[in-house]
Amino acid sequence: MVSNTRPLRPSSPFEESFVTRTLRIAFFCALVLSGAARANEAAVKQTLQKKYPGVSIDNVARSPIPGLYEVYADGEILYVDEKANYLIVGGRLIDIARKADVSSERMRTLSAVKFDQLPLDLAFRKVQGNGARKIAYFTDPNCPYCKQIEPALNKLENVTIYYFLYPVLGPDSVEKAKAVWCSKDRMRAWDDLMLNGNPPKAAGNCETPLEKILAFGRRKGITGTPTLFLADGERVRGAVPFEQLKKLVDGAR
C-alpha cells in the first residue's frame, strides 16, 4: 500500500469551497455538542440557536445510530458523534479538530498506484532536463482539461513524462489517438495537436496499445482525463495549475 500523508489539497475550486463551508458548520457543532452531547434535542437546538443566531438550525435529533446526532443546519443534514470529534456531511467524514476531510485523505491513499506497476511500455515519453523525476499522464486527445494542463506539464523541470493515450470521449478520440501512436514522431504529433490544434494526419494502420491501456484504466478506476500518477503513486485528477502541480511533483518521493 502506498502511503501519503501530505495535507489535503482540494482538486478543484468546488471542493475547496465545499470543505471550507463544511468546516465552518463543523466548528460551531464542535463547540456546542461537545458540552451537550447527552442533552435532549430541544436543549441542543436552543443552545445552537442562541450561540449562532446567524445559522438556521431547524432541527436536532438523535439518529437511529447510537451516539450519532442529526443536525439540520443551513439547509443540510449533518451528523456528529457524541463527542463532536467527527462530522459526516455529503458522504464525507470530517475530522473537526484537524479540519481535514478524512474521506478524501483515505481516497488518495486507496487510489494510489505504485509507479512500477504502471505499464510504462505502453506509453511514449518526454524527457525534460535530466528527467530524474517522473509522472504518468493519462490523456484524451479531445479532452479540453488536458489541453489546459499541457503547458504546465511542459514547464516542469527535470522530469520524465509518460504519456498514456486514453481515448474515452468517443470514436473521434480513438481515431486521433491511433493517428498519434502511428506517427513517426509521436511526441511531436501530440504536441502539435494539443498545443497548436493541428490534428494528426492519418498514418495508416499500425498496432496500438489503446485497448490494453483502456483495460488497465478500468481496473484502476481511471474514469476521466487528465489523470496523473506521481512518483510516489499518488493520483491527481483534473487540470491543476502549474504552481500546485510543481508542489505535488516536488513533494513526491
Cell numbers 506521481 correspond to 230
Give residue-wise pLDDT tens across range 210-223.
999 999 999 999 99
Distances (CA, A) of 245 to 8, 124, 174, 200, 230: 14, 21, 27, 28, 10
What integer pLDDT is reported at residue 1 of this predicted model? 41
pLDDT exceeds cutoff 80 at 35? no
- Average of pLDDT values for 224-245? 94
Q: What is the DSSP string of the chain?
A: -----PPP--SSHHHHHHHHHHHHHHHHHHHHHHHHTTS-HHHHHHHHHHH-TTS-EEEEEE-SSTTEEEEEETTEEEEEETTS-EEEETTEEEETTTTEEHHHHHHHHHT---GGGS-GGG-EEEEETT--EEEEEEE-TT-HHHHHHHHHHHH-SSEEEEEEE---S-HHHHHHHHHHHTSSSHHHHHHHHHHH--PPPP-------HHHHHHHHHHTT--SSSEEEETT--EEES---HHHHHHHHHH--
Number of domains composing the chain: 2
Verify that 125 and 220 share a domain, yes or no. Answer: yes
Q: Who has greater pLDDT, 225 or 5?
A: 225
Question: Is residue 3 in some structural domain?
Answer: no
Q: Higher pLDDT residue, 53 or 115?
A: 115
pLDDT score at 129:
96
Q: Among residues 69, 90, 109, which one ends one of the domains?
A: 109
| Residue 98: all three cell numbers together | 484537524
Higher pLDDT, 79 or 115: 115
* % the chain with pLDDT above 70: 75
122 shares its domain with 239: yes
- Buried/exposed code over 103-136 (b: 16+ C-beta within 10 A; e: otherwise): ebbeebbebbbebeebeeebbbbbeeeeeebbbb
User: What range defines the domain where residue 97 resides?
Assistant: 13-109
Assess whether 75 and 61 both reside in one domain: yes
**CATH number, position 130:** 3.40.30.10
* Comparison of pLDDT for 123 and 108, the residue scoring more: 123
**Under 8 Å between Cβ of 133 and 159:** yes
Verify cis geometry, omega within 30 degrees of 0, for the bond prior to 226.
yes
- Note whether 93 and 128 are same-domain residues: no
**pLDDT higher than 90, residue 96:** no
Where among 74, 109, 144 does a domain terminate? Answer: 109
Residue 169 sits in the same domain as residue 234:
yes
CA distance 225 to 241: 15
Binned at pLDDT 50, 70 and 90, residue 66 comes out as confident
- Spatial CA neighbour of 233 closest among 219, 218, 253, 217: 253
Assigned domain for 233 exists: yes
Exposure string of 192-225, with b = 16+ CB inside 10 Å and e = fewer, is: bbbeeeeebeeeeeeebbbeebbebbeebebeeb
